[in-house]
Structure 1
């Protein structure tokens, strides 16, 4: 039987590759189909959906990308990024109280968030090192515990132990922070409005810049490798595709196409791109190789002389700091801080997003995060309208969104276990 299988694969290598690709990407394929059907039945115009997706991608991608490094280090999905979100919100409340607005206020919030997130990440990493093999459950429970302390801080300590005389933020009784804080006069759109172009201009410049950088990098590598040209065609092709799409958008400018209507917060996407480059860079460093070694086998890593606990601790600290910055990007785009609720679903939604993109508890990449965020938030946009058109009740779509957020985690973990079982049988 084994010989027959080998022969079959050799006779039809293309079919085997297609089957393997479908098997490995079953989750994103499933959600692409669901999103396509949802868009069809929603009846929404393409320009509206694209505009919403651009805004949501800018708002949520950074937090999702913060999950990648702990996965590489073998710690699974870090639900404790909610602690980083709490650090960001504490800094937002402080800077709002001090009345520092605009870009200076945003930068100060990031500066204040960093040491808080490092402390929270350090304590989280210490705890997760005590519970090896149960990191995801531990980080989930830790998020609930930390939420209790966070509530204690803003409901009781503010106005009693921590003085704050600010009627805009503090409740009328003088103790506790108000449930909702308007950021319109402080940091709302502080990052988004730095640079804002329409989609045509963004794709044209972005594509040209990508292609130019790749050709420059190829020239550099050619000199280093003594005239051996090794051109990585993917970024160049991506740049050319971007330029062609933008030219199509230019040709349809008079038709009110999404390329002209949709405004892209370029400043925010530059920050997200910087995180993507940082993640790519750190994975190729010595520290990144140690992340991979620990993720593959802690025993082999220890035998190789790697301090496993230290490497795991660094991974969680980096993830927590990035999550804090990501929550700041989220809040400046949203323009409102729900003091006691904005952070609660951060971990759940981020994990659901990256799993929808095709990641697993042992493998995650930048593309998994970006594609997953797009698919997850496409469902958020189209499902209420699809539910209303199909069943006459928009709340069905709202319930479906919540169901997806929790259900996709269970389904993805189940599929991951099934894939491992199939591989072991083979």
Structure 2
């Protein structure tokens, strides 16, 4: 019998209790969750490949989010609106995220075993450079083409940029209303299509190579795999998907917070994935879907529950941040304890393993990895 994930169970219980006290209708809650699924689905999905490749949680997805915002700012600066402007923003931001993903992958190849803390630092660095360019660069060494987005002093982009020409361009396609619930069929199908593509990719030869690298990079290298190249590919795909996810997010809202839209995107994405039962070493598409519904259900109901229970909605707002960081901390602690328990168990039984059984185990592992990568058993 499969054990229930502790983090998921805690979120489920808190979400149910919070909904009971919040007084929110089920229709309102479902509308909010579906909207958040459309806004955050892809950026959470972007975390899967780095985990499969053994790099843990990719906090550098914020770089992909910044690439999307750069694309929108440039398109508005060039004054290209509507569907052509949206397509141009997608092209520009995707190309930029490809380059950024490549350099992030190069950097992570130099810090094997410390990828998660490195991606956090890379995220901080990217945000700082982004703010430097758009706070100081526009109006000094970058000539603005649209004065409406520039501050009155002539230097720097405004904090809020109106995206009304792009708002709900895709959400209004195949919009279905069931009672009080509005369902953007096209967007949900689009995100589910990406889920299917990631699932398919993980079962292809490339996906099996990612898994082989994630299980044991040294052994994968001995088998002839280019581990560094595979890790770079995983990071490029992750950054591009995160970029597309941020495009969906900001165009759905209709306003671009130039210096704030990307904030906590990586923290909330990682927390949602972990809430769905994923670990820092293993995650699936189902963890993404389940985690978004669980995490954002609690995010929606917590301020209202705080108002009803304690008479202070601000406590619910603080609870959101506590949930995000607490989920990541709890998941990391649980994973570390599980790894330590496994190591202790292996060391306790290690004295009873003879050299023949070790050789047989290595041979069996080698056979499984080769079969997974090349689709045939080695001679």
User: TM-score normalised to the size of structure 1?
Assistant: 0.79
Mapped contact 2:50–2:56 kept (Cα < 8 A): yes
Question: Which residue in the other structure is 1:219 paired with?
Answer: none
Q: For 1:14-413, what aligned pairs fall within 5 Å after superposition? A: 17=1, 20-22=2-4, 25-184=5-164, 186-198=165-177, 259-413=178-332
User: Which deviates further from its counterpart, 310-319 or 109-118?
Assistant: 109-118
Cα deviation for residue 344 of structure 1 reads 2.2
Question: Which residue in the other structure is 1:224 paired with?
Answer: none
Q: Distance in 1 between matches of 2:199 and 2:82?
A: 31
Cα deviation for residue 366 of structure 1 reads 0.5
Mapped contact 1:103–1:191 kept (Cα < 8 A): no
Residues 365-396 of structure 1, C-alpha deviations (whole Å, 9 max, x = no match)? 11111111111111111000100000000001
Q: Distance in 1 between matches of 2:96 and 2:33?
A: 31
Query: Could you say what secondary structure the match of 1:21 adopts?
Result: coil
Question: Which residue in the other structure is 1:423 paired with?
Answer: 342
C-alpha distance 270-99 of structure 1, shift in aligned 2 (>3 A): farther
Q: Distance in 1 between matches of 2:217 and 2:344?
A: 25
Cα deviation for residue 421 of structure 1 reads 2.9
Cα deviation for residue 41 of structure 1 reads 0.5
Q: Distance in 2 between matches of 1:100 and 1:28?
A: 44
Residues 1-28 of structure 1, C-alpha deviations (whole Å, 9 max, x = no match)? xxxxxxxxxxxxxxxx2xx413xx1111
Cα deviation for residue 94 of structure 1 reads 1.0
**RMSD (CA atoms):** 1.1
Cα deviation for residue 190 of structure 1 reads 1.3
Q: Distance in 2 between matches of 1:341 and 1:405?
A: 17
Cα deviation for residue 290 of structure 1 reads 0.7
Number of paired residues?
Answer: 345
User: Which deviates further from its counterpart, 189-198 or 25-34?
Assistant: 189-198
Query: Could you say what secondary structure the match of 1:168 adopts?
Result: helix
Q: Distance in 2 between matches of 1:177 and 1:196?
A: 34
Mapped contact 2:54–2:214 kept (Cα < 8 A): yes
Cα deviation for residue 425 of structure 1 reads 4.4
Q: Distance in 1 between matches of 2:79 and 2:21?
A: 46
Residues 98-130 of structure 1, C-alpha deviations (whole Å, 9 max, x = no match)? 232232222211111111001111110111000
Unaligned runs of 5+ in 2: 346-379
Cα deviation for residue 424 of structure 1 reads 3.8
Mapped contact 2:79–2:146 kept (Cα < 8 A): no
Query: Could you say what secondary structure the match of 2:263 adopts?
Result: coil
Mapped contact 1:73–1:295 kept (Cα < 8 A): yes
Cα deviation for residue 351 of structure 1 reads 0.5
Q: Distance in 1 between matches of 2:295 and 2:256?
A: 22
Q: Distance in 1 between matches of 2:88 and 2:182?
A: 27
Unaligned runs of 5+ in 1: 1-16, 199-258
Residues 46-90 of structure 1, C-alpha deviations (whole Å, 9 max, x = no match)? 111111111111111110001001100111000001111111000
